[in-house]
Chain A
């Protein structure tokens, strides 16, 4: 009897493993769309405040606030929609791999509320250092991307590594621009490496997602 029950368990586990293999393909496609969404969101953050300020020059600070909020909400909602299946995939993976939900993941999920709180407080109270503080806070986003990629795939695909590296490079450029050079040109282009490489990552992920089906 015990052997037979184990046999049934093995059959059910085999099915789960097969679905998890398929989910790698689905998740890589989802990451591909995610890179595109945030690449365009970052591009909008670079130019939208200036456009709003040009159209409504009476409150320059407001243009940044409005542009950042609108783009952030749209891109955030799109991200939630894109990854709605990722959480359910993790539930199945945890059952099969017999691991409990790590505390680190919970901490990362709970980090978003203070994250936005810090941004708003920095914008209101320490405006001269806002950009520097924002760059420091964005390090946590890069770490978040890293952990989410690790959770989605057993081995981070190459475009994922490029996305993390280019994001870090843009943060470093932003910090350099705000702390050392104060060059307007650098402020204008510090996020271009991220925008361009995430666009490339998106295309690469969408093109190579079927590779997981072959595996």
Chain B
């Protein structure tokens, strides 16, 4: 059986978990094993039917009031007890903040290795082979998962979501017993960023500003663009972050976030190797830079050599026009 950890935030299932579930179903069918899901938390039952629409035949619900808020040690304890009972061959996570935090703890607890942030999976002789970026995407490495269970986390925004079906399945609810002192690290509060902006790793469109933006006030131009573009987020180069024009949560690159949106738009970004590492796997790349020799143009599908301050306003209007049609 394949078990997919399904993450809930604000009483919603994360899209990237459904992507992982979709991929699990594709591989599970190929290998000939069942695809199942697990939800951990408190009062998450109502979300269970959603996973049947993406191919799970069973959903396990691990319920405990102590797990109402995320705790890596607590969630691991809950998952270990289920995994020892149902013995899945493969366990998949979405490589979200929570997935990246929880999956290695669980893997070590189970004594197995883990491939993180994979961008491709394949079934080989009943096992999984996965591909993952190394050096922030400057190279790709493929691995056969030789452990039991096999474990991997899948990068968000990479695996296609399955067409939802009118599926049904079995809901298995388990009250997990966890001594309070086993919940060693507790989330006590969630501080939302200004305006609850979408994170660059989750957006379909990333609009990035570099040092060419000249100052923090000009990022408003980019904010106006993201306001027009659906499911978009604001990115930044490290130079813009280091100048304190924008918070480092927005930084894209080798020491920032790696993104693979459908569309990446870079304004006043030169395209240093560390920046390219973080965004080169975007489906389409667009760049506006006044320097025709800027390295960003080497990876751009469409580039404009020109002054971003003159290009952005008419571009916003053109996009608005298209989107309103």
Q: Do A and B bind each other?
A: no
- Where the two chains meet, the residues of B that have a C-beta atom closer than 8 Å to any C-beta of A are none
